[in-house]
Each structure stands twice: as structure tokens, then as C-alpha cells.
Structure 1
Amino acid sequence: MADDPIERLGVELEVYGIPQAPDAPPMTDTYLHVRRRQDGAAARAVLGLPAYQGEQGPPGRPGAIHQGERTTAELQALATALGNEHTSWAYRNTDTNDQYVWTGQQFVIYHGVYGTPGPTGPAPVMQPGELTIDGERFDGEFGVRIDGGSGTYSVGIDLPEMPKGDPGDPGPSGSIYDSVDVNQGIPPAPGDVLAYNAESGLLDWTSGGNWTEEYVVPPSGFPDVSKTATDTRADLCVVTIPAKTFAYRLDFVGGVDVSCREGHQVDIEIRQGHATTGTIVGIGRGPEAAGWFCIPIRAHANQAVDPTNRVGVVEPGTPISLYVAAVKRSGVLWGWNVRKDYAQLRVRLMRVK
């Protein structure tokens, strides 16, 4: 019959891409020429196919973006509200376990995506593990409490006393004025420092520093005096010291020029509180010789003084007056004199606790 083939060939076709230079003309034709050899062996044919690189296509849709679970009724209502900006939003239909994916215009439904939840499995066996502190395994005892069931469990840990760590970084500086260690009832004054009060156990603001306050009577503060043989006293000056916020003892430096005759003695004395009956706190002993002599003045106390007692201490808040006088101790024949040319008195307030 005319439709019967005179020969049947089995063809295995391989297709190759042939590189073309960017500026070469495109291939528009191709051909296939197969020739059978007389010995019956099949010849190999090569077929060149035209191929073109097309333009970049539109971006594909993203994968499903799961947005939670809805019922069938909720998904039907949601289809009237979603738009192109919600493309690929996906939901699980809790009525059918189907997945609904929005195409931008409608939902595409994928049936049977979510399986039916199976029965709750057996509770896990939970037991304590290892405890590490800062990466180091802790070998001591510690407690673990496990409570709960039906898939919900809570784990409580009773930690032991932690080992002492390295010192931390210094904290920020606090205000010393607001410190709980400082007595807030005593505001500071200029120059005050903090001192411990053993009775309250707090720090009190007290007059600080080790400086010495000094009052000086210059030569112009002294008189020129001429006394007769019967005169035994000459008042020279008065120094008034106002009340201080600190306790102190008195110290004196200075001297007064006095002239007398052989066998006569004139001293310089400083009394506190009264010119003639006050306590002697400073004294200068004159020589029993003739001529002018500078009688030096020094502090004087009739009792032993040490840091443990309050002998000679002027307490805070106490104003005092100091009376300076020249007093003849011996001699009745001749008069005596005091001159101010080189006289000077320096009263120093020596602070004590």
C-alpha cells in the first residue's frame, strides 16, 4: 500500500546552542539533511536552530504570605475587601483545612493543604540538665521544679548562692551634700570640712583647715608711757575677738620696749576677761637691769595642757577681750617708761578639736 513506509528510522536528536557574536545577524533558517550510507550505517546529522533572547518578563508573584486563620464566611467577606496590594496573602480555612491564596482579584483554593490535627501525644519526660554560670559548669546542687501538662509546662530553677564575681566598674559619682552619711541638719559654710561625730555616727560640717587666724596690734596701737616711782601699772591696749564657730587656744608673739633703773623690774601681762582680775593668758618677763629692753611676750597657762583636756580653750560662740598692760613688779626709787616705737602684739587663734 502507498501508506506503508519502505523503511523506518529511529532518530535520537541532540540540540546544541551555537554562540553568536552580539553584532552578528540572527539565524533565520535552518535545515536538516540526513543521508544513508550504502553499507546501512546511519550518518550523523547536525541541525542548527535559530534562538533569540527575549525581553525581561514581569516579576513573578511572591510565595504565599500566611495571614492567619479564618472561617468560610470570613473568607467570603474578606474577598470583597482585598485588592492587588494584598496579592499572595494566604489564609487557612478552619472549616475545611484548605488554603486560600489571594491572586489580586480572587482566592485560589488549594484543597487538603492542612491536615486534621491528631490526638495529643504522651507527655514528655522532663528532667534537670546542667547549670552553667558565665559559661562555666556549676557542679554544686541546685533545684529544678517542673509543673504543668497537656503540652504546657513551666520550669522553675532554684539557684544556689552565686560565687563572688570580679569587682564591677565604678558607678557614677553621687552628691556628697545629699549623702545619708552627712548630717543634713547642719548646712555648710564657706571653708567648712566634714568631720565625724561619734555621738550621731554621722559626718558634720565643721570649720575646716589648719590655718591660724591672727589679730595684730601694730606700734601705733600702743601708747608712749612715763610713770613715776609710785606707779605700778600702765594699760597699753585692748584686743577684742568676736565669737568663732570653732574652738581655739591663744598664742602670742610680740614685744614691748620698757626702760627702768637698776633693781627695778617691769613685766608685760595679758589678761582675759578683765584688766586686773582676769586670767593671765600671756606674759613677758622684764630684766632687773637698767636701760631700754624689749620684753618678749609668750602664751602662759597655770595648768598642764594636752590634747585630751580643755584647759585654756575658748569654745565656739564665745567672744573674748584681752587686756595688755605693763606692770612694775619690783623697785620703789625710780620712775619707768614704755615706748611704742617697736612695740607689737600678734594674737594667734590655734584651733583645737
Structure 2
Amino acid sequence: MATDPIETINVDLEIIGIPQAAGMPPMTDTYLHVRRRQDGSAQQAKLGLPAYQGGPGPAGIPGAIHKGDRSTSQLVALQSTLGVDQLNWSYRNVDNNSQYVWDGSTFVVYQNAYGARGLVGPAPVLQPGTVKYDGVVEGDAVMEVTGPDGGPYAIHLDLPEPPQGEQGDPGPSGPIYTSVDVVGTPTEGQSLRHQTSDNKLHWYNPPTAIEEYVVPPNGFPAAFTKASTDTRAQLVAITIPAKTYAYRFDFAGGVDVQAKTGHQIDIEIRRDNATSGEIVGYGKGQDGEGWREVALRAHSDVAIQPGSTEGVVPVNTATTLYVTAVKKVGNLLGWGVRPDLAQLRIRLTRVV
């Protein structure tokens, strides 16, 4: 039996791992496949082996965790407080620029890890320069630099008043509401008027031209009679509240009075007192028999001119009017008053 080979085949082997899907049973078959070309130009062999995917390995060591800068003495004291949980905590030693890394039990030192600090350069030199307005050097300006060598420095400027330019075009007129001559903020319907105390304009509530109060017939007392010895009988009392303006009274209306021949009953309208107050309205009765209306009107004992304060009710002043029937003539017979169609109209005429 011949033992010498009749032919030699040079084989290139390719080893192929066959992956297994999760949950499948592992492969156990292995094969070797050799292929030879007929022309003998090349040979090729393949070996098939089962391949298995292992589980994940343990976690690696974390990288250095920088925890700040410390001095050498601080790092020595820090060792007693660090443990395994602080693995790879690192610190910069500010004394020599080295890095200290904790390995779980001690520090591993990396010398000059941050590089050496360079030489400190010379302090900057500051000196005053020039000041320009619109590119033109201003010779009257003064600049001063103060501070120790190395700083900090302070720069002081003393600038002259800039030259006055040409007057610009007039701007639009501002609103009167923001004028320096107007005081306060208006509300709906207010107007402005001058106040001499500060020589400014103030907002105020302008009154209507005439305010009117009316006492109707049922505002008068029921019909009554008086004895011959009675000389006065009050008919109406009405209070006018304080106003924000000064005014005088004007009156209209009338009331029925019964008098006998030789008797006269007048109507007085007095201010603030029924018997001694100023007479601001009057109605003069007639001598005659029966019922007669006594008409009412405004009255003044003195002359009144524009600008006069006679008979004026001042601002913020309340006043009460008293209407009284007064027997002026006759003392033998009684007299009476009735409210039929009686009327008292009080008009407040503003005084400026």
C-alpha cells in the first residue's frame, strides 16, 4: 500500500461563526468544507462552528469625576472621609497643579496634570488720551487715570459744556392734561379754572347755569286760620345743601292768603333764621276782602352790582330758607292761608 501522497492541496480555511437567535437551542454541528477547482488554480476550505453570544459583563470603572480644587493639606484631611463609593473622584491640587484621583482606598497622583502656570506679565500702563466731539479734539477736556501699579484703575473725565447747536424745528404741542400749569387729573365732565393761590389751572365740576328747587302745593301746610292776635305763621322750611360754587337766590311762585278790609298779610323768605335772618325773598299782600294770591320774588335791601358779594351764599355752605306769613296791618279780625295752587320755586343763580 502506497504511503506517499499523490497530490498536495494547499487550502485557505475560512472559519464562520453561525449566530443563534435568542431562545433557540445551541448548535452542536460542526463542518469542514473543502473545495478544489478543476483547473487547480485555487483551493478553498470552510469550517462551520457553532457560535454563542455571552451575557453582558460587569460595569467598568467610571472616569475621573472632578470635584473641585483643594490644597495639599486639605487633600490629606480628605482621605479619611472618602470610601469605595467615591471611586475616581478627582481634585486639582492648587499647590503644585497635580491631579489627585481616588482609587477607593488612597489617592493616585498625576504630577503637573494641569500644566505649569506661566510667568506673570508686567502690569498694563494707562495714560490719558484725547477727547473728541464729532471727530474734533476738545482741548478743554481733562482726562485723569488713577490707581496703583497693577490696578485697579479709574478714569476720570472733566468735559466742558458742549457748544450749543442750532435751534431745531418746533415740536408738536403737548396735551393740556400733562401741562405743568394744570393740577390734577380730570373726571368726566370737569372743566378748568384759574386758582390764584398757586396761579395754576385746576379741574372742577362746573355747575349748571341755574339749579332749581320747587315746593309744590302739598309742601305747604293745610288750610288754616289765625286769630286777630296772631302775627306770624311759618309755612315752609327748606335746606339747600352746600354747593361747589357761590350763588344768589331767585324766587317765583305765590300762596293764597285771606284778609279782611283794613288788613294786610305779607310773605317773608328769610335765610337761616325764621324771624331774624336776612330777607332774601318777599311777597307783598293786598288790602282787601277775600282770598288773594301773594306773589313771591327775590328781594335785597341794598344795591347789587356785578362783582358784589351782597346776598351771596359762599362756596361749600349749606343754608336753610324759612317761608313765613306775617300780618303787617290790622288787628281786629283773624286771617288765613290755604295751599290751593301754592308754589315756591327757588333758583340758584351762579356768581362768578
**SS of alignment partner, residue 42 of structure 2:** coil
Q: Tell me, which stretches of 5 or more residues in structure 2 are unaligned?
A: 1-6, 127-133, 136-143, 158-182, 186-192
Given the alignment of the two structures, is residue 224 of structure 1 paired with residue 222 of structure 2, yes or no?
Answer: no
**SS of alignment partner, residue 63 of structure 1:** coil
The whole-number CA distance in structure 2 between the counterparts of 1:113 and 1:348 is 105
Q: After TM superposition, list the pairs within 5 Å mapping 1:146-295 onto structure 2.
A: 199=197, 218-220=219-221, 223-225=224-226, 234-237=231-234, 249-252=248-251, 254-259=253-258, 267-272=266-271, 279-286=278-285, 291-295=290-294
Query: Cα distance 1:103–1:150, how it changes in 2: closer, same or farther (>3 A)?
Result: farther
The whole-number CA distance in structure 2 between the counterparts of 1:304 and 1:312 is 8
* Alpha-carbon distance, 1:263 to partner: 11
Instruction: Write the deviation string for residues 16-45 of structure 1: whole angstroms up to 9, x where unpaired.
Output: 664533343223454544455575533333
Query: Cα distance 1:289–1:221, how it changes in 2: closer, same or farther (>3 A)?
Result: closer
* Alpha-carbon distance, 1:89 to partner: 1.3
Contact map agreement 1:252 1:345 (CA 8 A) in 2? no
Size of the aligned set, in residue pairs, is 288
Q: Which residue is equivalent to 1:339? A: 337
Query: Cα distance 1:314–1:93, how it changes in 2: closer, same or farther (>3 A)?
Result: closer
Instruction: Write the deviation string for residues 293-340 of structure 1: whole angstroms up to 9, x where unpaired.
Output: 32232333454476x5433124467877746234668xx9x9784323
Q: Which residue is equivalent to 2:298? A: 299
Q: Which residue is equivalent to 2:100? A: 100
Instruction: Write the deviation string for residues 240-267 of structure 1: whole angstroms up to 9, x where unpaired.
Output: 7789766664454553212468999764
- Give the partner amino acid of 1:255: G
Q: Tell me, which stretches of 5 or more residues in structure 1 are unaligned?
A: 1-5, 127-139, 159-179, 183-194
- Give the partner amino acid of 1:237: Q
Give me the TM-score of the superposition, normalised by structure 1: 0.54
The whole-number CA distance in structure 1 between the counterparts of 2:212 and 2:16 is 110
The whole-number CA distance in structure 1 between the counterparts of 2:92 and 2:83 is 19
Query: Cα distance 1:17–1:201, how it changes in 2: closer, same or farther (>3 A)?
Result: farther
* Alpha-carbon distance, 1:350 to partner: 4.3
The whole-number CA distance in structure 2 between the counterparts of 1:29 and 1:110 is 53
Contact map agreement 1:223 1:236 (CA 8 A) in 2? no
Query: Cα distance 1:147–1:103, how it changes in 2: closer, same or farther (>3 A)?
Result: farther
**SS of alignment partner, residue 24 of structure 1:** coil
Query: Cα distance 1:268–1:69, how it changes in 2: closer, same or farther (>3 A)?
Result: closer
Contact map agreement 2:32 2:47 (CA 8 A) in 1? yes
The whole-number CA distance in structure 2 between the counterparts of 1:201 and 1:58 is 93
Query: Cα distance 1:97–1:265, how it changes in 2: closer, same or farther (>3 A)?
Result: closer
The whole-number CA distance in structure 1 between the counterparts of 2:54 and 2:254 is 120
Q: Which residue is equivalent to 1:171? A: none
Instruction: Write the deviation string for residues 220-252 of structure 1: whole angstroms up to 9, x where unpaired.
Output: 37752476xxx9x94232767789766664454
**SS of alignment partner, residue 67 of structure 2:** strand
Q: CA RMSD in A?
A: 5.9
The whole-number CA distance in structure 2 between the counterparts of 1:60 and 1:325 is 119
Q: Which residue is equivalent to 1:116? A: 116
Contact map agreement 1:93 1:100 (CA 8 A) in 2? yes
Query: Cα distance 1:28–1:251, how it changes in 2: closer, same or farther (>3 A)?
Result: farther
The whole-number CA distance in structure 1 between the counterparts of 2:10 and 2:334 is 164
The whole-number CA distance in structure 1 between the counterparts of 2:256 and 2:19 is 129
**SS of alignment partner, residue 22 of structure 1:** coil
- Give the partner amino acid of 1:224: T
Name the one with the larger strand percent: 2
Identical aligned pairs, as a percentage?
39
The whole-number CA distance in structure 2 between the counterparts of 1:150 and 1:59 is 56
- Give the partner amino acid of 2:20: Q
The whole-number CA distance in structure 2 between the counterparts of 1:23 and 1:150 is 79
Contact map agreement 1:253 1:296 (CA 8 A) in 2? yes
* Alpha-carbon distance, 1:69 to partner: 2.9
* Alpha-carbon distance, 1:92 to partner: 2.0
**SS of alignment partner, residue 80 of structure 1:** helix
Q: Which residue is equivalent to 1:20? A: 20
Query: Cα distance 1:351–1:50, how it changes in 2: closer, same or farther (>3 A)?
Result: farther
* Alpha-carbon distance, 1:54 to partner: 3.1
**SS of alignment partner, residue 50 of structure 2:** coil
